[in-house]
């Protein structure tokens, strides 16, 4: 029998608008803080799902095994991630993070 992936609701607070989405529960493990991502609680309200007019930045996290992952990031954290390398050298899913780049479009 196939094991179902457990999901979690995450959000980024963008000037009072809580942009929310559902992802695998471990999708932001150990990197959420650097990306400005928070796990939603049952008591959180006013979460906005699927808004196209105000979206957080998307970044590509490049791992040591030559793979990369796409994740949302708080626009206020992007400079630190890309210019200052705040995630460089940290681990994600057992792999070192080499760099973070902004995804255009």
pLDDT of residue 59: 98
Task: Give residue 1's pLDDT band: very low, low, confident or very high (50, 70, 90).
Answer: low
Task: Write a three-state SS string for the chain.
Answer: CCCCCCEEEEEEEECCEEEEEEEECCCCCCCHHHHCCEECCCCCCCEEECCCCCCCEEEEEEECCCCEEEEEECHHHHHHHHCCCCCCCCEECCEEEEEEEECCC
Arithmetic mean of pLDDT, 10-39: 95
Share of the chain above pLDDT 70, in %: 96
- Please tell me the pTM assigned to this model: 0.86
Residues 40-74: tens digit of each pLDDT: 999 998 999 988 778 899 999 999 999 999 999 99
């Amino acid at each position: 029998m196939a094991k179902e992936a457990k999901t979690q609701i995450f959000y980024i607070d963008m000037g009072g608008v809580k942009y929310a989405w559902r992802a695998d529960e471990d999708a932001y493990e150990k990197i959420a803080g650097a990306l400005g991502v928070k796990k939603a609680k049952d008591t959180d309200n006013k979460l906005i799902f699927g808004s196209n007019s105000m979206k957080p930045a998307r970044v590509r996290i490049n791992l040591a095994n030559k793979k990369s992952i796409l994740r949302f990031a708080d626009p206020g954290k992007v400079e630190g991630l890309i210019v200052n390398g705040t995630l460089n050298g940290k681990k994600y899913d057992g792999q070192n993070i080499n760099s973070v780049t902004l995804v255009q479009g």
